Structure 1
């Protein structure tokens, strides 16, 4: 099985999710999204495939999302902000042939393996 993880190596949940993928023998592509952010279009596709509204995948902790009014913003505004400032993307996102999940908690990844 193949997977792509949008990963932040400083995040414990992201590291633990990556470890699950590796332990399961998954052929994983690791994308450090802060260095190589997904496009707005890719983000929209990931959230659609995960069944998430972009606001549900907005990182609040450690960001200025609330101050910017993003917690109350529409999906297009949130996607624009995430594309411009990837720190606003909650992590880790994992994509496989079985779907996409925002893996919080880390065990959520099991749903798509």
Structure 2
């Protein structure tokens, strides 16, 4: 099974999700999104695979989300903001053939395996 994980190595939840993938025998493509930000088009594709759409990609607790007025923003505005400010990406986001999820808590990754 192929998988991608949008990953921040400083995040314990992201590290736990990665460990769960590896325990399941899956070595995902690891995208350190702060070093290699996804494009707006890539974010749109991931959002389309998520039940919650672009809103699920947004790290709402990030102060910048409030400063930019994203709590009530459209999906388009959210995608634009995350593309411009990757710190706004919820983490970890895991993508497999079964779909995509912001895996908080990390155990949510099991739904994608």
TM-score by length of 2: 0.93
Aligned residues: 113
C-alpha RMSD of the superposition: 1.2
Aligned to 2:47: 47
Q: Deviations over 1:59-91 (max 9, x none)?
A: 122431112111111111111000000000101
**1:8 Cα deviation after fit:** 0.4
* 8 Å Cα contact 1:96-1:112 kept in structure 2: yes
**Counterpart of 2:66?**
66
Please list every run of 5 or more consecutive structure 2 residues that lacks an aligned counterpart in the other structure: none
Which runs of 5 or more residues in structure 1 are unaligned?
Answer: none
State the match for 1:11 in structure 2.
11
- For the residue of structure 2 that corresponds to 1:38, the secondary structure is coil
- 1:22 corresponds to: 22
1:34 equivalent to 2:21? Answer no
Task: Determine the C-alpha separation between the residues in 2 that align with 1:62 and 1:79.
Answer: 15
Give yes or no for contact 2:93–2:102 (8 Å, CA) kept in 1: yes
1:99 aligns with 2:99: yes
Task: Report the 3-state secondary structure (helix = DSSP H, G, I; strand = E; otherwise coil) of the residue aligned with 1:71.
Answer: coil
Contact 1:3–1:27 (Cα < 8 Å) also in 2 = yes
Aligned to 1:79: 79
Residue by residue over 1:18-69, the C-alpha shift from the partner in whole angstroms, topping out at 9 and shown as x without a partner, is 0101111102111100111111111111111012231232112243111211
